[in-house]
Amino acid sequence: MKKEVTMRLLRADEIDCRVGQVFKKQEAVGCLLYKDARVDMQILDEEFGVNGWQRTHEVIDGQLYCNIDVWCNEKKCWVRKQDVGVESMTEKEKGRASDSFKRAGFNVGIGRELYTAPFIYIKLSEYEFNNGKPRINLRVKEIGYENRKINHLVIVDKDDNVRFSMGSGKPKKTTTKKATTKPKDIIPDEVKKEIEGCMTLEGLKEIQEKYAILDLSDLLNGRYKQLKNK
């Protein structure tokens, strides 16, 4: 295991957006951001290698816990992170196992940035409710971070309509600065002498064309400028 491991930040396509609350009068919902257990497995594979981590479960006081152990080369031992899961509404045992794994993943450092998510309030129209229950599919289209905290978030529906947006910051891209100065020519000494002996601007331009020199303006201690001024 590398020293001071910092897990990479989640991409937009790795984050789920689900309704967590329905407000009175059925006019809006509050949403939460989640990560899938498969995301945890993928990032663990990326960071520690397929054989560099392991997952086990155990029951403590009647509660199902998940252990994620990662191998530390420095200490030559397994380092464990543990957390408990809660039941899902559909599959009781499988839901607890998956939830405990995702919670243990938070302990390892996967997806902690989701804890910095803003309050997500989305207004719905009447046809987006059915018997009082919201019927809308949402997804995270864009997400940005600053100091590992969410500073930009865009959520859209199945038709790609923006239903929530926050901030204007986006992940910074590394750019290469373009040169702001012109390249200078490497001029042979004999050509320099010819330039120094030239007494007119027209003659200097002829020398420039003859030897295909890019720029004379910054060469020969301002000789070009002197002739230009004359």
The pTM assigned to this predicted structure is: 0.66
Q: Which portions of the chain are predicted below pLDDT 50?
A: 1-3, 171-185, 218-219, 221
Distance CA 158, CA 184 (A): 56
Cβ within 8 Å of residue 208, ≥6 positions away: 216
Distance CA 93, CA 86 (A): 9
Position 194 scores a pLDDT of: 75
Domain boundaries defined on the chain: 12-166, 189-229
pLDDT, tens digit (0-9, with 9 covering 90-100), for 182-226? 444 455 666 677 777 777 767 777 776 666 565 555 445 455 556
CB environment 49-74: b (16+ within 10 A), e (fewer): eeebbebeeeeeeeebbbbbbbbbee
Q: What pLDDT is recorded for position 94?
A: 72
Torsion, Cα of 109, 111, 112, 118 (10° steps): 170
| Residues ≥6 apart with Cβ < 8 Å to 215 | 182, 183, 184, 185
Tally Cβ neighbours within 10 Å of residue 19. 17
In 3-state terms, the chain is what percent helix, strand and coil (to 5)? 30, 30, 35
Between strands 120-123 and 129-130, the pairing is: unpaired
For residue 21, list its beta bridge partners: 30
